[in-house]
Each structure stands twice: as structure tokens, then as C-alpha cells.
């Protein structure tokens, strides 16, 4: 089966069957670009005021719309990845297409791992769309500012290459950190016969509520918050409220964080269980 590249074609099948994961970021990018174009009305006057600020404040003000665009697109990708994982294995039982796919010479392991790879594909695609959107924003702002002689001010105050590298590093760290979350959602999708979203989130709320009522503590909620956002403190060295330089990246500290490796172990366990469940699961 090596020459047929089953993993590659399985991922291609997922993209073909779930085209919304590609369309949604593009639609959001168009919306963001449209909003930015409207915001450039009167930009020349505002830019003259901005250029009177201290250099650090100039960079922060000029970079703000580009940071917002990146945040909106990445959040869109995260939401898409979460809901994709919740539906990935349940939908094939619901529409009974699992009977057809199981008749093909593709193992349950390959199928589940191809679905587990989709969040990475979505994040990578969102990165490409984000960079394309930011380049379009740079070009448009330059054209708008050219008549006033300020066309180069954005390029000199916003380092697209450096910010793109920071974004790429952040997405890799995010994907690794969220791996157990994606694994858990795929496990629930493989097990639950219906209402996978309830089975995915209600147990967490129940455990948190029980802990609060019984012990008046919030350790479980703190652990969940750490799993969603704990990578930020270990992967970056924040100086202020934004990342301005590659020197603020701390990959060594991130890779030595115990929470990263514990999470990856849980992700592997969840995927192993999802593979086993899919092997014996019948259509709904």
C-alpha cells in the first residue's frame, strides 16, 4: 500500500468532503479585507497624527489592523478545527458512508490519523490566507497613502516577514498544545451515537461543578484554562501587550514544558481509543 499513499489520499478525501474548512477562512478574509478598505477612508489624516507619536507607539498603531486580521482568521480556523473533529467520525456513521469506506483497503488507523491531521491542515491553510490578506492590506494602504506622500510609512513600521514568522511559530505551538483537545473531540466523535458536542463538553462542566460544590475549589477549571492557553507563557516572552520581535520566541522553554508532553501522551491515548472504537462501531 506504500505506493498508493493511503494517508495522502485520505487527507485529500477529507478536504473534498469538507470543503467548508477551506471556504470559511476565505469568506472571513474577504469580510476582513472589506472592513479594512472602509477603515482606510481618512487614513492619510490619521497617519499624519500617528507619525507624531513615539516610534514604539507608531509601530503598535500601524500594526493593529494586521494583528486583528490575523487574530480573527486564526480564531476562525480553531473553531473550524474543533467542530470538524466533533463531527468527523460521527457523520460517517450517521450517513452510513462508513460501510463504503470500510470496504476499501484503508485501515482504521490511517482513517483516524488522516482526520486527526485535518486541524493541522486547517491551521496551515489559515496561515496562508492570513499572509495573503495582510499583503493585500499592505498594498491597499500603500495605494491609499501614496497621494499624501506617506505610502512607505506602513512598510517601514510593519515588518511583515518577521510578524509572519512569529505567527507561524505560534501556530505550530498552538497545534502541539491543543493536540489532546483534538484527540478528545475525535474520541467523542467515534463513541457518541448522537449529540457529540454535549458529550464533549458537558462532562467537563459537570466535573467542574461537582468540584466547586464538594470542595469549593476550581482546580479542574484552572487545568482546562491551562490546556487552552497555557502555551503562551512558555512559548513566548511577552514584553507589553504584543509580540514585536523574533527575540521574544522561546522554543526551547516551550519544548521543555511538562504540560506539552503530558498533553501529547493524552492525545496519543485518545487517538488509539478512537481507532479501536471505529474498528468495531456500527452505523447509527
User: 10 Å Cβ neighbour count for 42?
Assistant: 9
User: 10 Å Cβ neighbour count for 69?
Assistant: 22
Say whether 236 sits in a helix, a strand or coil: strand
**Which cell is 140 given?**
491597499
Find the angle CA(118)-CA(119)-CA(125) to the nearest 5 degrees: 85
Residue 96 binned pLDDT confidence (cut-offs 50, 70, 90): confident
Tens-place pLDDT, residues 163-204:
999 999 999 999 999 999 999 999 999 998 888 888 888 888
Tens-place pLDDT, residues 36-53:
999 989 888 988 998 888
Percent residues over pLDDT 90 in the chain: 46
pLDDT the model gives residue 188: 93
pLDDT the model gives residue 178: 95
Tens-place pLDDT, residues 152-162:
888 888 888 99
Q: What is the DSSP string of 23-71?
A: HHHHHHHHHHHHHHHHHTTTHHHHHHHHTTS-HHHHHHHHHHHHHHHHH
Nearest to 267 by CA among 155, 181, 191: 181
- What average pLDDT does the structure give for the chain? 88
Element containing residue 115 per DSSP (H, E): helix 108-145
Domain boundaries, the chain: 2-280
Task: Give 4-8's long-range contacts (Cβ < 8 A, gap of 24+).
Answer: 6/105, 6/106, 6/107, 6/110, 7/110, 7/113, 7/114, 7/117
Nearest to 158 by CA among 60, 52, 75: 60
Which pTM value belongs to this model? Answer: 0.89
Place of cell 497545534: 175
**Which cell is 143 given?**
495605494
Whole-angstrom CA distances from 217 to 147, 205, 220 are 61, 14, 8
**Which cell is 119 given?**
486541524
Residue 140 CA to residue 151 CA, distance in Å, equals 10
Number of helices (H), then strands (E), in the chain? 14, 0
Tens-place pLDDT, residues 1-27:
445 688 888 888 888 888 889 999 999
Percent residues over pLDDT 70 in the chain: 95
Amino acid at each position: 500500500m506504500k505506493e498508493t499513499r493511503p494517508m495522502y489520499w485520505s487527507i485529500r478525501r477529507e478536504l473534498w468532503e469538507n470543503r467548508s474548512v477551506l471556504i470559511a477562512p476565505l469568506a472571513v478574509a474577504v469580510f476582513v479585507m472589506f472592513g479594512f478598505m472602509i477603515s482606510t477612508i481618512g487614513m492619510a489624516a490619521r497617519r499624519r497624527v500617528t507619525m507624531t507619536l513615539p516610534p514604539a507607539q507608531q509601530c503598535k498603531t500601524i500594526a493593529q489592523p494586521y494583528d486583528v486580521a490575523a487574530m480573527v482568521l486564526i480564531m476562525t480556523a480553531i473553531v473550524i478545527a474543533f467542530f470538524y473533529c466533533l463531527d468527523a467520525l460521527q457523520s460517517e456513521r450517521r450517513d452510513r458512508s462508513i460501510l463504503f469506506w470500510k470496504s476499501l483497503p484503508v485501515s482504521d488507523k490511517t482513517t483516524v490519523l488522516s482526520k486527526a491531521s485535518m486541524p493541522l491542515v486547517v491551521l496551515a491553510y489559515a496561515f496562508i490566507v492570513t499572509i495573503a490578506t495582510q499583503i493585500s492590506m499592505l498594498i491597499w494602504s500603500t495605494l491609499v497613502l501614496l497621494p499624501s506622500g506617506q505610502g512607505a510609512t506602513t512598510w517601514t513600521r510593519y515588518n511583515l516577514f518577521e510578524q509572519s514568522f512569529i505567527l507561524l511559530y505560534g501556530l505550530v505551538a498552538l497545534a502541539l498544545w491543543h493536540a489532546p483537545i483534538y484527540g478528545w473531540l475525535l474520541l467523542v466523535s467515534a463513541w457518541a451515537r448522537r449529540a457529540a458536542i454535549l458529550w464533549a463538553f458537558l462532562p467537563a462542566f459537570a466535573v467542574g461543578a461537582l468540584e466547586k460544590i464538594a470542595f469549593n475549589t476550581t482546580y479542574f477549571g484552572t487545568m482546562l484554562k491551562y490546556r487552552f492557553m497555557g502555551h503562551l507563557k512558555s512559548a513566548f516572552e511577552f514584553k507589553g501587550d504584543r509580540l514585536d520581535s523574533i527575540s521574544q520566541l522561546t522554543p526551547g522553554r516551550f519544548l521543555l514544558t511538562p504540560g506539552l508532553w503530558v498533553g501529547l501522551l493524552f492525545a496519543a491515548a485518545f487517538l488509539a481509543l478512537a481507532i479501536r472504537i471505529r474498528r468495531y462501531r456500527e452505523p447509527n
